[in-house]
Amino acid sequence: MHSWQSEIKRLIVILVVASMLGLLLDRLLLACLLALLCYAAFNIMQLRRLHRWLSQDPDSRSADPPESIGLWGDIFAGIYRLQNQERKASVYLANIIDKAQESSAALEIAVVMINKQNNLDWWNLASEKMLGLTYPQDRNQAVTNLIRNPAFAEYFQNENYAETLNMEAPGKLNRVLEFQIALFGEHERLMIVRDITQLQRLERMRKDFVGNVSHELATPITVIKGYLEAIMDNMEGLDSKWRKPIQQMHQQSLRMENIVRDLLLLSSLETKTLPKHPKRINVAALISEIEHDTRQMFQDKSHQIEIDCEEQAEITG
């Protein structure tokens, strides 16, 4: 690689040779001036060649740079090397993008990239099926114009993406989509959409199952508990060996009744909205009830339960 020192030495040699010729011809100043003009002309010619080469279209630009000597040869070679590195980096990034797009096309979830102008930049095949997007007509279109839903517009503009948004699919009945958005880059967005119709259907089936089973169990447990209470009211006529089993059966029926009551309460909370005016709950009474149930469950064990709670302690719920 040539350096600036070599180029300066070259200029000095040119001036020395020109000076010697000028002294021989008794034209020292003219010889030095002509030498400098020739050196300047050479540099101007190299600048012109560089400008013409760089002004060409990069795709149609010739593979080899202009040939030259000295410092200009290093400049041409350095620019050519940087261009090759840039081309390789561009090809590598293009391959990564192609692979990412190919892999996302196989996903069943919709992936949409939104630029900082809130316009659609790219999306995968699942997005067209779920959201009805069309390529290339919808490219660079505002996402809120294509997904026309007030809930989505509010979710998109508020930028509070800690929670997901569930709403019906655009133009499709009985299909529920889950939207999740993440910010990245220069205020760009990555939107992921999932079809949760089946999940919601299974969740409703679970809630219905819990509610129905709870109601179906309530009646036979009440009957069993009633007969056991009637038997316990006439314990004097029973053999002593049956008294403890009857008492345990009654305790377990109470436990089952509490479980069914809890299941009914859970079903009610899942299917109904919470009351707007919550009630005051006595914590001591609640803990006392839990203690009573616990003692019934573990009465054959030597557990010791201690409660430290103020009698007037209350919570709102």
Same domain, residue pair 184 and 216: no
With b for 16 or more beta-carbon neighbours within 10 A and e for fewer, the 73-111 pattern comes to: bbbbeeebeeeeeeeeeeeeeeeeeeeeeeebeeeeebb
Choose one of 98, 124, 154: the last residue of a domain. Answer: 98
Same domain, residue pair 186 and 204: no
Q: Are strands 188-195 and 280-282 parallel, antiparallel or unpaired?
A: unpaired
- pLDDT at site 119: 92
Predicted confidence pLDDT, tens digits, the chain (317 residues)? 456 777 788 778 888 888 888 888 888 888 888 888 888 888 888 888 888 877 777 665 555 777 777 777 778 788 888 888 888 887 877 777 667 666 666 677 888 889 989 999 888 888 888 888 888 888 889 988 888 888 898 999 888 888 899 888 877 667 889 999 999 888 889 999 998 888 888 888 887 887 777 778 888 888 888 888 888 887 777 777 887 888 888 888 888 888 888 887 877 776 665 556 678 888 888 888 888 777 777 777 778 888 888 888 888 87
Same domain, residue pair 64 and 28: yes
Same domain, residue pair 261 and 304: no
Same domain, residue pair 9 and 94: yes
The closest of 79, 16, 20, 23 to 47, measured between CA atoms, is 79
Same domain, residue pair 176 and 204: no
176 SS3 class: strand
Question: Structurally, how many domains does the chain consist of?
Answer: 4
Domain that holds residue 257: 196-272
* Residue 207: CATH number of its domain: 1.10.287.130
Same domain, residue pair 239 and 223: yes
- pLDDT at site 30: 84
Same domain, residue pair 120 and 92: no
Q: Which residues contact 293 (CB under 8 A, 6 or more apart)?
A: 255, 258
Choose one of 135, 162, 195: the last residue of a domain. Answer: 195
CA–CA separation, 236 vs 222, rounded Å?
24
- pLDDT at site 131: 86
Same domain, residue pair 259 and 220: yes
Q: Which residues contact 266 (CB under 8 A, 6 or more apart)?
A: 210
The closest of 108, 115, 47, 116 to 75, measured between CA atoms, is 47
The closest of 225, 291, 217 to 252, measured between CA atoms, is 225
Same domain, residue pair 86 and 168: no
Other C-beta atoms lying within 10 Å of the C-beta of residue 234: 8
- pLDDT at site 179: 93
Q: How far is CA 192 from CA 50, 142, 147, 158, 195, in A?
A: 48, 17, 14, 17, 10
* Residue 133: CATH number of its domain: 3.30.450.20
With b for 16 or more beta-carbon neighbours within 10 A and e for fewer, the 236-261 pattern comes to: eeeeeeeeeeeeebbbbbbebbeebe
Rg (CA), the chain: 43
Same domain, residue pair 17 and 52: yes
Alpha helical stretches, state H, 26-69: 28-54
Same domain, residue pair 186 and 250: no
Alpha helical stretches, state H, 135-282: 143-146, 150-158, 197-232, 243-271
